Chains A and B, each alone.
Chain A
Amino acid sequence: MADSASMKAREEAHWAKTSRLMFTHLGVWFFFGFIIHMFVVPLNKFTIPIVGFPLGFYMAAQGSLIVFVVMLFMFARQQDKIDREFGFAEED
């Protein structure tokens, strides 16, 4: 009984942490998917030195995409760390 209670607690703590990670990434996703592009006109006033892109255009054409790729590799590691912490990760 105590065992199943501690299991329950572990599951809840694991899920709370997983949810927090999910919302963090969802927030970053929303910022780079939408919010930043709402400011494209003011951002276009800045030009990236050397390569010459207007910043607003660049964010939609490359910047946000790079963020998404990096985010996904980070997420895979972070979620794995959470799973390991609570002993819910698969064996290697």
Chain B
Amino acid sequence: MKRVLTFSLAAFLGALMIVVPAEAKKTVLTDFDKRDWMVIAPQDSDAPLRDYAILYDAGGVDGALGVIGIPSMRTYRHIKCGVDLHNFPFSGSNAGNNNGTPDGKYLYVSDKGSDTIAEVNLQTGWAERVFALPKPFGIHHSAALAPNGKYLFATGELTGKMLKLRLSDGATTVLDIPPAPSAPDYPDTSKDGKYVFSGNYYHSAVMVFSQDPFKLIKEIPVGKNPHGTNVSPTNRIVSTCDKLSATLSIIDVEKLKVHKVIPVGAGPLHNQFDTLGKYDYISCFVSDSTSKVDMQRFQLVDEFPVHYRPGHNAIAPDNAYYSSQNKFSTGLFTPTGIVFAVNFELQDLDETSATYGKSVKLIPVDGEPHEGRMIFASYIQRWNTGKGEDLFSKGYDLGDVHISFDDGPGLNSKQRPQLEPVHTANSSRVWIPRDDSKPGITQDGDVKVIHIKGFSYGYVPRFIHVNQGDKVRMILTNIDKAAGLTKNPDVTMGIAVAGYYGQRTMLIGVRGMSAQGEFVADKAGEFEFYCQHFCGPLHLEMRGTFFVDPKGGEKASLGVGDYDDMSMQADHLAASEHEFIVGTNKLMNTLNEGKEPTI
């Protein structure tokens, strides 16, 4: 009996030893752990770590979207979209802050290089459609989504135009914004469906449009060269970054006039509201900092240093982190070639945290990233667990709300395309020894040689004329000086001829040698060229015009050129993918204005 008891006790203790350590392995999360990415709750997957949010960033000259985990800051992948990507909203609604109220289906990214907008399916992770905008348009940012998620508002920075686009079919209405020079810049929509706001850096004003009917209402004078313009989640104010005035102009949405001007630091470029509209975070390019403004007190309350030269920025959907998307990284990383890595810097916004205001991660990033927006990872479904067919055909649920791909505004199709738009095809590019010849055009046999010098902030020559059919050799030489007034590093200058010639140019001018590209000027028209590699506060203003005069002696202009042909985007996608191009000039001004409700 005794032996039995002893054996039972030993067996019980043995079992306990097995069970207790197994129990001890379970992680119980504390409130502190919840914000610490190294401590995770037990989960049903075999992944050792999952990020709670995803930062999508429009990768500029990469022609691709970056997909980065938050808060790990690991780059998961890149999604090919076009030539020079700038800005995007998530599909769903613009309700909330800049991250909006996503439905997890799409994002719409503007492509300055090809003058298009690409629709990316977040669930498959591929581009699905390309909106071919009516040429000439010259898109820069396209960030503004209507509250009902059915319309986009885009700015034609390079031609002084604005556009309203219906996402279901690409139909558009285009407005001219005189007087020239006019550069509609970063737009945002009011959350109640009434207005569209957009900075215009040549006018030093914020323009106000009604969403439906789409028309200009007024211009509100603000500080010098406004850039990032955002509507607060409460819809009570618009804040715009006055690049050259070092201020933030606060516009009263009800009265449509400036309510207050707040000094925020040198070179403010972009701003991000938190989800409750309490704070606004401003990237200050020249002062290398993130400025934090209390939007109840209208006061600058804090400033965090960054490494350095911040441009765009993004805020986590739970307001815990802020990503400063820095344009320069001199001295930070191992050299990897002609184009240096820029960097993203994650800052802790939690005022109760020991690392509040500190940079907690810094990663090298390729391309020249522009807008970043974050989304909770829980919006992205698991497509690789045998549920793919259901997700395709039936959609998915967010709580008790069903999300389906059949209810628009994307493709109502069981096919989900995997588009890979051409990035820099149909061109020849080489680096050559530094070209010190005079700026201008020379003839070399049957080739027109354009010697163009790029510097902070402009080009010589600024206006270039060639004839349709000419073989063109463009030689870009960066004549900038390092370590100028704004202590910039060795700046890379670029040249991209927007629109049809975008993917044929995209030359990268580093100091000490020249970049040469060759192409045939087969389409006539007037094309703005611009610097696609960020070079300083007036980078956007670094522009010129490339005229391809048509055969027959007429001079190219915004009204004279092969714009209808170019609007077909024939070279942008493979011929087999052309069915996924929507829009084009054929649908210009086809919206039923006044009957297209935005909420």
* Mutual binders A and B: no
